[in-house]
Amino acid sequence: MRRLLIAVAAVLALAGCSARSTTSPSGDKPSASASDSAAAADFGTLRHVCHSGTVKASTAQGVTNSEIKVGVFSDVGFTKNPEFVDAAKVFISWCNDAGGINGRKLVPVTHDSKLVEVRQRMIEACRSDFALVGGGAALDGMGVKDRLNCLLPDFPAQTSQAIGADLQVTVQGAATGYSPYGGYFSWLLKEAYPASASSVGIIAGDSPVVKPITAQDKETLIAAGGRITYSDLYPAQGVSDWTPYAQSIKNKKVKGLVFLGDFASLAKLEQVLTNIGYAPDWIDANSNAYGPAFIQLAGTALAKQANFADLGGFAPLEDSSNPATKAVEDLYKKYAPDAQVTLPALKAFSSWLLFATAAGDCAELTRTCVYDNALKQTAWTGGGLQAPMDLSSPTVAPKCFDPVKATAKGWVAADFKPDTGAYRCNVTPYKFKGTYAKPMTLADVGKSLADLK
């Protein structure tokens, strides 16, 4: 999950201080339609997600009798990638057209953190928003203290540094203390390519943000039976010639390679590996690469290099048989036809569904009620967008994985023997033995759940 933001985090050293942004509503204001059928508010296996109703007065910040102001974090000013903003527009347009949350319309507010302005945007969110939903920022750890101080619940699409912090419910589960890739790495090393375990390599962008992830991946690989024979860093600003790195990988006879960085750099590395006549048994491209852009950039190298990515229990976009994925695509065609459905967008949609479901079950809309309702979900699937996940505690171990493989024709499901629908969930989770930073708690800022209203 955290790897989705590595591409942004790895270039931290290059990011100068940008101009202060202003917080503004995102997308077109959705229209209301009281005549919409009840079926319009259904999503996959979820029923009546959004609908009209008679509201009970609420004193919660960001809530009026007609609206709920919800914040969406995004580094769009830095990445130029509007996927979280687009996901918010699509979901909210659909939800509001169906009547909103018991009659209250959702009003999205984009907080453009521009990579380095997380704290400034969080302070703004603390002044106005009811909750944060469906967003993410590469340096999200910069805003946790302020978020907890103002008791602002967070339902993120993805997390990077702040995973497992208090007042946060993530749809993939925080899995605090566990490796999110234990089952995936074990499959690669013990089943798919057992001969590769004798020589595993890892290469990562040189950034303080990426270093702890690299250490955790190394620990997980070793625990799965891998022997680390190659470990290297490449400059965060990029590499003009990947030949020295490719030659080192070849000289070390690396059979399994984990790449932590942006997929454009990986594509260049693989082209050089192919040119010098070397191909590891497998390359973990990580889910940064999952999408058509990597396929195009890697080009002919895909005929030689076996690339995999773990979707972490989310349905592949290519699975046309999944009604929930098809429903998201249909909603995008209706409300944002020029936007692209991506894996982070699916996670954002699941987060919005979680928030709407939790808020819709509140007789009186309060932060406490929404947060508590979200924690009651012990088998959350986002209506079919993902494998069942227990959200009741941030320390629940991860259970499911579903790797995909890159081919010249696109991404396809890997041959990994799924046992729970499209996922493999009968795995033994790996609990870290190393010492890593602990998630921030309410107690760290002198507060408790009793302060949440």
Task: Confirm if 90 and 136 have CB atoms less than 8 A apart.
Answer: no
Report d(CA 81, CA 137) in Å as an integer: 12
Looking at the fold, whether 204 and 283 belong to one and the same domain comes out as: yes
Q: Please report which confidence band the pLDDT of residue 6 belongs to, taking 50, 70 and 90 as the band edges.
A: low
Looking at the fold, whether 385 and 266 belong to one and the same domain comes out as: no
Looking at the fold, whether 244 and 148 belong to one and the same domain comes out as: no
More confident position, 273 or 208: 273
* Residue 134's CATH number: 3.40.50.2300
- Paired with 109 in beta bridges are 25, 71
Give the tens place of pLDDT for each residue, 276-329. Answer: 999 999 999 999 899 999 999 999 999 999 999 999 999 999 988 999 999 999
For range 130-148, the mean pLDDT: 96
Looking at the fold, whether 38 and 155 belong to one and the same domain comes out as: yes
Across the chain, what does the average pLDDT equal?
91
- pLDDT for residue 433: 96
Asked, for residue 429, whether it belongs to a domain, the answer is no
- pLDDT for residue 237: 81
As a 3-state breakdown, the chain gives helix, strand, coil percent values, each rounded to 5, of 35, 15, 45
Looking at the fold, whether 388 and 301 belong to one and the same domain comes out as: no
DSSP state of 261: S
User: Measuring CA to CA, which residue among 328, 305, 304, 334 is closest to residue 316?
Assistant: 328
Percentage of residues of the chain with pLDDT beyond 90: 85
Looking at the fold, whether 24 and 89 belong to one and the same domain comes out as: yes
Task: Confirm if 313 and 306 have CB atoms less than 8 A apart.
Answer: no
Asked, for residue 190, whether it belongs to a domain, the answer is yes
Looking at the fold, whether 166 and 190 belong to one and the same domain comes out as: no
CB within 8 Å of 188: residues ≥ 6 apart: 196, 224, 256, 282, 284, 308, 403
Distances from the Cα of 173 to the Cα of 73, 140, 379, 389, angstroms: 19, 17, 11, 7
Q: Please report which confidence band the pLDDT of residue 30 belongs to, taking 50, 70 and 90 as the band edges.
A: very low
Asked, for residue 426, whether it belongs to a domain, the answer is no
**pTM metric for this prediction:** 0.91
Give the tens place of pLDDT for each residue, 355-376. Answer: 999 999 999 999 999 999 999 9
Report d(CA 212, CA 437) in Å as an integer: 9
Looking at the fold, whether 282 and 407 belong to one and the same domain comes out as: yes
pLDDT beyond 70 at 400: yes
Report d(CA 122, CA 114) in Å as an integer: 12
Asked, for residue 449, whether it belongs to a domain, the answer is no
| Torsions phi, psi for 33 (to 5 deg) | -150, 100
- Residue 313, number of CB atoms within 10 A of its CB: 27
Asked, for residue 302, whether it belongs to a domain, the answer is yes
- Paired with 133 in beta bridges are 155
Looking at the fold, whether 306 and 336 belong to one and the same domain comes out as: no
Asked, for residue 439, whether it belongs to a domain, the answer is no
User: Measuring CA to CA, which residue among 156, 152, 94 is closest to residue 125?
Assistant: 152
Looking at the fold, whether 210 and 346 belong to one and the same domain comes out as: no
Looking at the fold, whether 23 and 120 belong to one and the same domain comes out as: yes
Q: Considering its fold, how many domains does the chain have in total?
A: 2
Looking at the fold, whether 9 and 116 belong to one and the same domain comes out as: yes
Report d(CA 347, CA 314) in Å as an integer: 8
Give the tens place of pLDDT for each residue, 323-359. Answer: 999 999 999 999 999 999 999 999 999 999 999 999 9
- pLDDT for residue 160: 84
Asked, for residue 188, whether it belongs to a domain, the answer is yes
CB within 8 Å of 327: residues ≥ 6 apart: 43, 44, 383
Asked, for residue 364, whether it belongs to a domain, the answer is yes
What range defines the domain where residue 285 resides? 182-311+399-413
Amino acid letter, 214 = T
Report d(CA 311, CA 400) in Å as an integer: 10
